[in-house]
Structure 1
């Protein structure tokens, strides 16, 4: 029965997007249907072991194991700097700054090297080609959406930077929504360790789900963007080849690694600062609420507000309140805080395995209030003349990104048994 509520959730989230559309008459339903079918196909291939030959489950498992193995190499750097503190099995337990931040730095350096070697450009071009053929979006929209699978919300638009100033508002909406609907590869690597714990099986399981969620959210972001802000102008369309002819920004592999490590450090410090601020602010809000009565908290209030959305993703009603608090935390704080709370539910067993796995999909995006400022600042630096448009579109794009994540969660809920 819970799986059927996931099917209902897909329809409801799409209808919400239609209700909030700037021009319902211009909605391209072929794009919407194609995007949803592409999401369903990805989920079926990656999660549908009922398919002949098990679909792509075996391939995805192998990729997840390889991804987990690569992430584990960060432990060497962590141990060199922090010594035994990197061992979560010690009496000091799991130390966030020691176990998570080095992974972000290492993976950012690795991604920078892969971009310098043009490995990632080939991968991004392949994904963009599929998105363009399946959904009929412009080359810039496809490239940015594909890049968002691997890099962050302000890094992906760099691949189409020369074209941002001349983009239509609908294209800007698609670029921004794609950033809100996905996460960066560097923080994805951190979430694998955070959710999977110290066991290889746990890390591989959540690596598989996070990888699948990131790929699914690329078409989901485009669908929600085009639902809520359909194209009403004539966009300039460029070939994928011309969009990917960017010059190298690093001199060599060593330079790329150094630059990537520096960027990773900035990101890790930003994550740490955001968590310190928002965990403290939530504690501040909880203090007067607890004076009202036992059990009152911001988390509980968010659980009540977002409980229907949780149930629409296929989460059992008895768990939907706790799940809803995760959705609310993601929106008002950050997905990192929400994943941190989810990791506690996993560790203490207070949420079922199925709900935790659906949560991995629903939270897999930067769709939160703090990210609005990040996107406006990042994109405005690339195209200062479009700042006013970006400011107006940002809240709508954040909401579209959240709906895209929830749609991905609902689709995952249909396939996760």
Structure 2
């Protein structure tokens, strides 16, 4: 029964994307089917095979070791600061971002990441039939943040029509930055976060390819990727990464303060008007029907829907913090589905980030992104739902 409901959820998600499509006649259904099959194979391999579990455990152990190294640096600077038993989120989670951003910057300077991304993007283009720029951007978005991924293809922006612009923007919104994955691992189970990374990449491409189909000639299908690293030496790369990581940590902390405080204000207002009813509860009831089809048990679907809704109106960090307090009281299936859903940048604030980045690259195209901002958010949210549903089929 759960599998049938999951298939129905996939059909509804893709059906909504189809209704939103700009050009239904040119949808590449073959490429979409191929990507869906790849998603199913990846999830089955990672969740249901010993080798897959070994790979997840190995990657998770690697991340945890990096977190340990990062914690040593944090302790050196803040070791004398007295904190409570629960620690301080900024110290224990957010400051780890600095070390991860440094590693990412060094790997970029050494041309290791660009090499990996280039050939993964080439392979993705061959498998899915998508243009090279869109494929590269999708892979690049797994490693870098929304802004950095788009900046890396800025030399190609003159070739991007509205549909191609939608796809690269959707890939940026449907992904997460590798520099903050370590922070996510400090809140939610690693196996679901790690599986979410490739699933969300494919889901963003599937949904956006339905909403905004693209066909390009061989002459247009060229990629000239600009190196996002401006470092001239190894140590400059380390310094740039550390500074970038510090900025990200402070930005995330500032956003958390603003969003959590604002959420409390809204809930207070809701409670005053609706006798204790909160915004999260309202969102929970709205999302509950599709959440049930995605595989969340009926008794948990309203609470889970509230978390998913919180992520959409605030950001993934706020939702993850709330969900981390719930994971011991809900089923493993709910934990997996919700965690995969949360592991993306699909929220209102991302519209501004992406539109602002594109505006800095090309003012005219930045205006276009702002124009389809809500459509971008809906598409990215559908992508997150698709990934979570696929994961739920194997839990």
TM over 0.5: yes
1:342 match: 323
- Whether the aligned pair in 2 keeps the contact of 1:149 and 1:183 (CA below 8 Å) is yes
1:23 match: 23
1:151–1:293 CA distance, 2 compared to 1 (3 A): same
Report whether the alignment pairs 1:329 with 2:316.
no
CA deviation after TM superposition for structure 1 residue 41, in Å: 1.5
- Whether the aligned pair in 2 keeps the contact of 1:131 and 1:219 (CA below 8 Å) is no
Q: Deviations over 1:156-184 (max 9, x none)?
A: 12221100132121111111000111111
CA deviation after TM superposition for structure 1 residue 301, in Å: 0.6
CA deviation after TM superposition for structure 1 residue 293, in Å: 5.6
Q: Distance in 1 between matches of 2:193 and 2:15?
A: 26
Report whether the alignment pairs 1:243 with 2:224.
yes
Equivalent residue runs for 1:146-225 within 5 Å: 146-195=139-188, 206-225=189-208
Q: Deviations over 1:140-170 (max 9, x none)?
A: 1011000111111111122211001321211
Greater shift in the superposed pair: 378-387 or 405-414: 378-387
1:84–1:315 CA distance, 2 compared to 1 (3 A): farther
Q: Distance in 1 between matches of 2:31 and 2:260?
A: 40
1:385–1:304 CA distance, 2 compared to 1 (3 A): same
CA deviation after TM superposition for structure 1 residue 344, in Å: 1.0
- Whether the aligned pair in 2 keeps the contact of 1:67 and 1:207 (CA below 8 Å) is no
CA deviation after TM superposition for structure 1 residue 316, in Å: 0.6
Q: Distance in 2 between matches of 1:150 and 1:386?
A: 24
Q: Distance in 2 between matches of 1:298 and 1:30?
A: 41
SS in 2 for 1:367: coil
CA deviation after TM superposition for structure 1 residue 235, in Å: 8.1
Q: Distance in 1 between matches of 2:140 and 2:198?
A: 10
What number of residue pairs does the alignment pair up? 395
When normalised by structure 2's length, the TM-score is: 0.95
Report whether the alignment pairs 1:319 with 2:300.
yes
1:397 match: 376
Report whether the alignment pairs 1:47 with 2:28.
no
Report whether the alignment pairs 1:303 with 2:276.
no
SS in 2 for 1:415: coil
CA deviation after TM superposition for structure 1 residue 224, in Å: 0.8
CA deviation after TM superposition for structure 1 residue 413, in Å: 0.1
CA deviation after TM superposition for structure 1 residue 55, in Å: 4.7
1:236–1:224 CA distance, 2 compared to 1 (3 A): farther
SS in 1 for 2:41: helix
Q: Deviations over 1:317-358 (max 9, x none)?
A: 111101101111111110111111111112xx2222221122
Report whether the alignment pairs 1:136 with 2:129.
yes
Report whether the alignment pairs 1:375 with 2:354.
yes
1:145–1:391 CA distance, 2 compared to 1 (3 A): same
Report whether the alignment pairs 1:411 with 2:390.
yes
Q: Deviations over 1:178-212 (max 9, x none)?
A: 011111112211010122xxxxxxxxxx2232121
Structure 1 stretches lacking a partner, 5+ long: 196-205
Q: Distance in 2 between matches of 1:264 and 1:247?
A: 15
Report whether the alignment pairs 1:75 with 2:58.
no
Q: Distance in 2 between matches of 1:322 and 1:93?
A: 24
- Whether the aligned pair in 2 keeps the contact of 1:304 and 1:321 (CA below 8 Å) is yes
Q: Distance in 2 between matches of 1:329 and 1:376?
A: 22
Q: Distance in 1 between matches of 2:187 and 2:31?
A: 36
2:333 match: 354
When normalised by structure 1's length, the TM-score is: 0.90
CA deviation after TM superposition for structure 1 residue 75, in Å: 0.6
CA deviation after TM superposition for structure 1 residue 389, in Å: 1.6
Q: Distance in 1 between matches of 2:209 and 2:71?
A: 42
SS in 2 for 1:42: helix
1:63 match: 59
- Whether the aligned pair in 1 keeps the contact of 2:355 and 2:367 (CA below 8 Å) is no
CA deviation after TM superposition for structure 1 residue 299, in Å: 0.9
CA deviation after TM superposition for structure 1 residue 265, in Å: 1.4
Q: Distance in 2 between matches of 1:343 and 1:362?
A: 14
Report whether the alignment pairs 1:231 with 2:214.
yes
